[in-house]
């Protein structure tokens, strides 16, 4: 059983999807710890609902990125995690942190990377008249929303739909794909070797995996 730590900053709907997949046994692992950099967020309530251990490390209480990362490390290291999952974690992690967990740190981002790293991805896609929008799941390196892509999911933008509706549709893709990627990592079907993603034949995914969703 792999030991998983999930880092969140907000609603935690991806955390919930992952917790369910751990509970029903499709992920060969368990969430040992949830850490939020924001107090009082819904994700912490969800953690409680699934009886997961959770902690807040409020970034506002630290005067530098390094000291925040150090506090994070102090919580993470004793757990000896096999995988750290960023699920709506909205802090940039420093190079020392990302290098310490190279190949064990994954992120989900609501855009078809390299398009739209950073914030407000949905509105940017709408404003630019894009036909497609989507999500990317990737190993994390020291750059923002960057690193080897494991899988991407896409949908067709309806120009008459609101941003809220688009976010909702994007979440459906995230909740379908993130647990599956974590399942494959937990079973050793996906890994990072020499900076490249390696897929076993048993994996749900393969290189340049782009799945279209009619959601
Ligand atoms: C998700 O859409 C995730 O892709 C995004 O935050 C949302 C969190 O939702 N992450 C990023 O933007 C990271 N750059 P959730 O808290 O309900 O899982």
User: Could you give all domains of the chain from N- to C-terminal order, each with its CATH number?
Assistant: 2-212 (3.40.50.170)
pLDDT of residue 142 exceeding 90, the answer is no
Q: Whose CA is nearest to atom 14 of ligand 1?
A: 109
- Structure tokens belonging to residue 189: 């079907």
* pLDDT (tens digit per residue) in 199-215: 999 999 999 889 999 99
Which pLDDT value is given to residue 25? 97
- Structure tokens belonging to residue 26: 């499709």
Q: What one-character DSSP code corresponds to residue 79?
A: G
Q: Whose CA is nearest to atom 13 of ligand 1?
A: 109
| Over residues 157-180, mean pLDDT | 97
pLDDT of residue 144 exceeding 90, the answer is no
Cα separation of 19 and 24, whole Å? 9
* pLDDT (tens digit per residue) in 19-56: 999 999 999 999 999 999 999 999 999 999 999 999 99
What residues are labeled active site? 109
| Over residues 63-77, mean pLDDT | 96
In percent, the amount of the chain with pLDDT more than 70 equals: 100
Q: Is 58 annotated as a binding residue?
A: no
Neighbours of 146 (CB within 10 A): 17
Cα separation of 196 and 193, whole Å? 5
The best mutation among 109, 114, 164 to test binding of ligand 1, ranked by most ligand atoms within 8 Å of the C-beta, falls on 109
Q: Is 141 annotated as a binding residue?
A: no
pLDDT of residue 186 exceeding 90, the answer is yes
How far, in Å, from the CA of 9 to the mean position of ligand 1? 8
Q: Is 13 annotated as a binding residue?
A: yes
Q: Is 77 annotated as a binding residue?
A: no
Average pLDDT over the chain, rounded to whole? 97
Cα separation of 146 and 7, whole Å? 17
The best mutation among 87, 114, 170 to test binding of ligand 1, ranked by most ligand atoms within 8 Å of the C-beta, falls on 87
Q: What is the pTM of this model?
A: 0.97
How far, in Å, from the CA of 90 to the mean position of ligand 1? 8
Q: Which ligand 1 atom sits closest to the C-alpha of 43?
A: 16
Which pLDDT value is given to residue 72? 97
How far, in Å, from the CA of 16 to the mean position of ligand 1? 12
Ligand 1 pocket (Cβ < 6 Å) reads 8, 10-14, 43, 87-88, 108-110, 145, 174
Q: Whose CA is nearest to atom 9 of ligand 1?
A: 88
* pLDDT (tens digit per residue) in 97-141: 999 999 999 999 999 999 999 999 999 999 999 999 999 999 999
Which pLDDT value is given to residue 47? 98
Show the CA angle centred on residue 94, arms to residues 100 and 183, nearest 5°.
Answer: 55
């Amino acid at each position: 059983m792999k030991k998983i730590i999930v880092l969140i900053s907000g609603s935690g709907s991806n955390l919930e999807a992952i917790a369910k997949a751990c509970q029903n046994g499709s992920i060969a692992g368990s969430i040992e710890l949830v850490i939020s950099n924001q107090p009082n967020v819904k994700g912490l309530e969800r953690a409680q609902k699934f009886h997961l251990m959770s902690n807040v490390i409020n970034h506002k209480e630290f005067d530098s990125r390094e000291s925040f990362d150090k506090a994070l490390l102090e919580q993470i290291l004793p757990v000896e995690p096999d995988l750290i999952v960023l699920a709506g974690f909205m802090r940039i992690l420093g190079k020392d942190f990302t290098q310490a967990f190279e190949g064990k740190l994954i992120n989900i981002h609501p855009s078809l990377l390299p398009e739209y790293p950073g914030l407000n991805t949905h509105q940017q896609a709408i404003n630019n008249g894009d036909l497609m929008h989507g999500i990317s799941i990737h190993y994390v390196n020291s750059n923002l929303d960057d690193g080897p892509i494991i899988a991407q999911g896409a949908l067709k933008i309806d120009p008459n739909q609101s941003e809220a509706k688009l976010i909702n549709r994007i979440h459906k893709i995230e909740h379908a794909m993130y647990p599956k990627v974590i399942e494959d990592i937990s079973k050793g079907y996906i890994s990072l070797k020499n900076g490249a993603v390696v897929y076993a034949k048993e994996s749900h995914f393969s290189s340049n995996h782009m799945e279209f969703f009619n959601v």
